[in-house]
Amino acid sequence: MKTSSMSNSTPDAGNGLSTERRRFLKRSSLLLGGLAISTWLPPMTHNSFASEAISGAQLGDNSVQKGGYGAFVRVGTDGKVTLISSKIEMGQGVQTGMAMMVAEELEVPLKDVSVVEAPANAALYTDPLLQFQATGGSTSTRATWEPLRKAGATARMLLIQAAANRWNVDATLCTAKAGTISGPEGQTVNYADVVEDAIELPIPTEVTLKSPESFTLIGTPAQRLDTPAKVNGSAKFTIDLSVPNMLIASTITCPVLGGKVKQVDASKARAIKGVKDIITLHNAVAVTATNTWTCFKAIKALDIEWDLGDNASVNSEEEANAVREASRQQGAVAKTAGDIDTALKEAPHTFEASYEQPFLSHSPLEPMTCVAHVRQDSCDLWVGTQVPDFAQKAAARLTGLAPENIAVHNQLIGGAFGRRLEYDFIIQAVQIAQHVNYPIKLTWSREEDMTHDLYRPHYVDHIQAALDDNLEPTGWRQHIAGASVLASYVGSLPDSGVDGDAVEVAIDPIYALSDLEVQYNRQDAKSVNISWWRGVGPLRSTFVQESFIDELAHHANVDPLTFRYDRLKEHPRAQALLKVVEEASDWHSALPEGHGRGVAISHVFGGYVATVIELAMQGELGVKIKRIISAVDCGIVTNPTSVSAQIEGGTLFGISAAFFNEIHIENGAVQQKNYDTYRQLRITDAPSVEVHITKSAEQPGGVGEAGTSLAAPALVNALYAASGKRIRRIPLNRHGYFTV
Amino acid sequence: MKTLNINGNIVQADVADDTPLLWVLRDELGLTGTKYGCGIAQCGACTVHMDGAPVRSCSLPIGALTDQKITTIEAIGETPVGQAVQKAWLEHEVVQCGYCQSGQIMSATALLANNSTPSDSDIDMAMSGNICRCATYTRIRSAIKDVQFVDAMEGASS
The pLDDT score that the predictor gives to residue A1 is: 27
| Closest residue in chain A to residue B85, using alpha carbons only | A231
Confidence of residue A70 (pLDDT cuts 50, 70, 90): low
Distance of alpha carbon A648 from its chain centroid, rounded?
16
Contact between B100 and A680 under an 8 Å Cβ cutoff? The reply is: no
Contact between A75 and A54 under an 8 Å Cβ cutoff? The reply is: yes
CB spacing of B72 vs A239 below 8 angstroms: no
What whole-number distance in Å separates Cα of residue A385 and Cα of residue A416?
9
What whole-number distance in Å separates Cα of residue A160 and Cα of residue A541?
50
Contact between B65 and B154 under an 8 Å Cβ cutoff? The reply is: no
Instruction: Report the candidate in A579, A610, A567, A569 with the shortest Cα–Cα distance to residue A717.
Output: A610
Q: Is B142 helix (H, G, I), strand (E, B) or coil?
A: helix
What whole-number distance in Å separates Cα of residue A53 and Cα of residue A123?
17
The pLDDT score that the predictor gives to residue B153 is: 53
Question: Which residues have a Cβ under 8 Å from the Cβ of B97 and sit 6 or more positions away?
Answer: A90, A91, A364, A365, A366, A412, A413, A414, A415, A416, B133, B134
Percent of chain B that is helix, strand, coil (3-state, to 5): 45, 15, 40
Task: Please give the backbone phi and psi of residue A600, each rounded to the nearest 5 degrees, phi first.
Answer: -150, 150
Q: What is the mean pLDDT of residues A245-268?
A: 98
Is the CB of A258 inside 8 Å of chain B's CB atoms? no
Confidence of residue A664 (pLDDT cuts 50, 70, 90): very high
The pLDDT score that the predictor gives to residue A15 is: 33
Confidence of residue A29 (pLDDT cuts 50, 70, 90): very low
Which of B43, B101, B138 is facing A230, going by the closest CB pair? B101
Q: Is the pLDDT of residue A33 over 70?
A: no
Distance of alpha carbon A265 from its chain centroid, rounded?
41
Contacting A residues, span 159-188, partner chain B, CB-CB under 8 Å: none
Q: How far is A442 from chain B (nearest CA, A)?
A: 13
CB spacing of B35 vs A296 below 8 angstroms: no
Q: How far is A499 from chain B (nearest CA, A)?
A: 28
Instruction: For residue A228, give the amino acid letter.
Output: P
CB spacing of A233 vs B73 below 8 angstroms: yes
Q: Is the pLDDT of residue A42 over 80?
A: no
What whole-number distance in Å separates Cα of residue A429 and Cα of residue A406?
14
Q: How far is B114 from chain A (nearest CA, A)?
A: 20
What whole-number distance in Å separates Cα of residue A364 and Cα of residue A453?
10
User: Which of A95, A220, A250, A293 should one mutate to test binding to chain B, selecting the residue with the greatest count of B CBs within 10 A?
Assistant: A293
Which of A235, A416, A641 is facing B93, going by the closest CB pair? A641
Element (H, E) at A631: strand A622-633
Distance of alpha carbon B119 from its chain centroid, rounded?
20
Indicate the average pLDDT of chain A: 90
The pLDDT score that the predictor gives to residue A150 is: 86
A223 contacts in chain B (CB < 8 Å)? 90, 93
B18 contacts in chain A (CB < 8 Å)? 297
Check residue A52 and report its DSSP letter: I
Is the CB of A240 inside 8 Å of chain B's CB atoms? yes
Which of A248, A675, A684 is facing B128, going by the closest CB pair? A684
What whole-number distance in Å separates Cα of residue A651 and Cα of residue A41?
33
- H-only helix segments in A385-423: 388-399
What whole-number distance in Å separates Cα of residue B115 and Cα of residue B138?
20
Question: Which residues have a Cβ under 8 Å from the Cβ of A338 and sit 6 or more positions away?
Answer: A475, A513, A514, A515, A516
Q: Is A380 helix (H, G, I), strand (E, B) or coil?
A: strand
Contact between A138 and A34 under an 8 Å Cβ cutoff? The reply is: yes
Contact between B45 and B102 under an 8 Å Cβ cutoff? The reply is: yes
Is the CB of A87 inside 8 Å of chain B's CB atoms? no
Least confident of A15-19, A120-124, A231-235, B46-50: A15-19
Q: Is A650 helix (H, G, I), strand (E, B) or coil?
A: helix
Q: Is A560 helix (H, G, I), strand (E, B) or coil?
A: helix
Which of B40, B72, B137 is facing A652, going by the closest CB pair? B137
CB spacing of A90 vs B139 below 8 angstroms: no
What whole-number distance in Å separates Cα of residue A662 and Cα of residue A649?
20
Task: Please give the backbone phi and psi of residue A519, each rounded to the nearest 5 degrees, phi first.
Answer: -115, 145
What whole-number distance in Å separates Cα of residue A363 and Cα of residue A365?
6
Contact between A14 and A393 under an 8 Å Cβ cutoff? The reply is: no
B6 contacts in chain A (CB < 8 Å)? none
What whole-number distance in Å separates Cα of residue B154 and Cα of residue B90?
26
Confidence of residue A609 (pLDDT cuts 50, 70, 90): very high
What whole-number distance in Å separates Cα of residue B14 and Cα of residue B29?
11
Q: How far is B108 from chain A (nearest CA, A)?
A: 12
| Closest residue in chain B to residue A415, using alpha carbons only | B97
Q: How far is A656 from chain B (nearest CA, A)?
A: 9
Which of B16, B100, B135 is facing A656, going by the closest CB pair? B135
Q: Is A249 helix (H, G, I), strand (E, B) or coil?
A: strand
Full set of structural domains in chain A with CATH: 14-28+237-309+368-443 (3.30.365.10), 48-223 (3.30.365.10), 316-359+455-739 (3.30.365.10)
Full set of structural domains in chain B with CATH: 2-75 (3.10.20.30), 76-150 (1.10.150.120)
Which tens digit of pLDDT belongs to each residue from B16-28?
Answer: 999 999 999 999 9
Least confident of A43-47, A697-701, B19-23, B135-139: A43-47
Q: How far is A610 from chain B (nearest CA, A)?
A: 18
In this prediction, what percent of chain A has a pLDDT beyond 70? Answer: 91
Q: How many beta-carbon contacts under 8 Å exist across A and B?
A: 184
What whole-number distance in Å separates Cα of residue A127 and Cα of residue A135?
8
Check residue A670 and report its DSSP letter: E
Q: Is A538 helix (H, G, I), strand (E, B) or coil?
A: helix
> For residues A660, A662, A664 and A669, what is the CA-based torsion angle, rounded to 10 degrees?
100
CB spacing of B133 vs A365 below 8 angstroms: yes
The pLDDT score that the predictor gives to residue A311 is: 97
Confidence of residue A328 (pLDDT cuts 50, 70, 90): very high
Confidence of residue B152 (pLDDT cuts 50, 70, 90): low
